């Protein structure tokens, strides 16, 4: 009787169940991972250069946005299109709500704790915008939600692709999760270098710790939508605190 009850536990209560896209070929996984890397590069590299001409700068920014949003969608099409996306993000259930709150707090704890190991912290430019009286908060919130959707999609795609490639190379389940976490966390952290004035320590330690919390959330519950909502709530809470205290640096270096 006990054994039957245990077998009915939902798979999202443990790390032992496998991840989606297991039927994808090695070529499709490698190709999609390259697209994810190119999307990250398109978001980070233009910020390393100062373009004085406004027309050229607008063109570069537009092209950058197309690549950042379009490449992960192409990667999804290569892996199975809408079916692959449904596998990454199954429907949310009421049981996910307490987990969502728990992982928001867990991610905040990791970011706050890791920030004590970094001596110089740069503020997020979005936090500075929030303190401006001319900022449209509704527009800013919409922008954050759209940006974080693609950030989380890239992170989850890179995680699953590295996991499945490790599995096809003969690695164990837990080793595959570890490798997937390392690669996805490093890639998602480094893309923030231009945002934080190329503060490598802050990006790898503080942003990396927050990204680790989000990565563990997906590895545990295997739901893109849940990881995305945790990411949105995490950023909104920290940026909201910054807005309420009307300061240029308080906690804004964590988001």
Residues 6+ positions from 15 with CB-CB distance below 8 Å: 174, 177, 219, 220
Q: Give CA angle at 32 (232, 144), nearest 5°.
A: 20
Q: What residues in the chain have per-residue pLDDT under 50?
A: 1-10, 12, 248-251
Q: Using CA atoms, how far apart are residues 13 and 228, in angstroms rounded to an integer?
A: 18
Per-residue confidence (pLDDT) for residue 10, from 0 to 100:
45
Residue with tokens 């964590």: 254
pTM of the model: 0.85
* 3-class SS of residue 133: coil
Number of residues written out for the chain: 255
The structure tokens listed for 225 are 């939508």
Rounded to the nearest 10 degrees, how much is the dihedral formed by the CA atoms of 200, 205, 208, 210?
-130
Our CA angle for 121, 216, 238, nearest 5°, is 40
Distance CA 25, CA 221 (A): 24
pLDDT of residue 4: 44
pLDDT of residue 126: 73
CB-neighbour burial class of residue 46 (10 A; exposed 0-12, middle 13-18, buried 19+): middle
Helices (H), 80-203: 82-88, 96-115, 125-130, 137-168, 173-190, 200-201
DSSP string over 68-115: HHHHHHHHHHHHTTHHHHHHHSPPP-TTHHHHHHHHHHHHHHHHHHHH
Mean pLDDT of the chain: 84
Residue whose C-alpha is closest to residue 202's, from 137, 130, 140, 121: 121
27 — phi, psi (to 5°)? Answer: -60, -45
pLDDT tens, 222-246? 999 999 999 999 998 888 777 666 5
- Per-residue pLDDT, 12: 47
Q: Which two tokens stand for residue 217?
A: 């959330």
Q: Are 119 and 200 in contact (CB under 8 A)?
A: no
Token digits of residue 60 = 């570069």
Digit-coded pLDDT (tens) for 51-88: 566 666 666 677 788 889 999 999 998 998 888 888 88
């Amino acid at each position: 009787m006990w054994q039957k009850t245990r077998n009915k536990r939902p798979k999202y209560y443990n790390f032992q169940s496998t991840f989606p896209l297991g039927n994808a070929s090695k070529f499709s996984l490698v190709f999609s991972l390259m697209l994810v890397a190119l999307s990250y590069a398109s978001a980070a590299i233009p910020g390393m250069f100062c373009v004085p001409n406004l027309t050229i700068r607008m063109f570069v920014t537009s092209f950058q946005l197309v690549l950042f949003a379009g490449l992960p969608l192409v990667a999804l099409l290569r892996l199975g299109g809408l079916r692959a996306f449904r596998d990454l993000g199954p429907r949310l259930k009421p049981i996910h709500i307490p987990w969502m709150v728990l992982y928001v707090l867990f991610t905040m704890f990791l970011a706050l704790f890791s920030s004590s190991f970094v001596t110089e912290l740069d503020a997020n430019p979005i936090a500075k915008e929030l303190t401006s009286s001319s900022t449209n908060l509704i527009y800013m919130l919409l922008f954050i939600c759209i940006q974080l959707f693609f950030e989380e999609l890239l992170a989850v795609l890179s995680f699953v692709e590295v996991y499945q490639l490790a599995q096809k190379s003969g690695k164990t389940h837990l080793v595959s999760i570890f490798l997937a976490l390392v690669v996805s966390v490093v890639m998602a952290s480094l893309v923030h270098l231009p945002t934080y004035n190329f503060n490598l320590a802050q990006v790898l330690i503080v942003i990396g710790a927050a990204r680790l919390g989000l990565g563990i959330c997906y590895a545990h519950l295997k739901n893109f939508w849940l990881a995305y909502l945790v990411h949105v709530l995490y950023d909104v809470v920290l940026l909201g605190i910054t807005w309420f205290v009307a300061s240029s640096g308080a906690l804004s270096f964590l988001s």
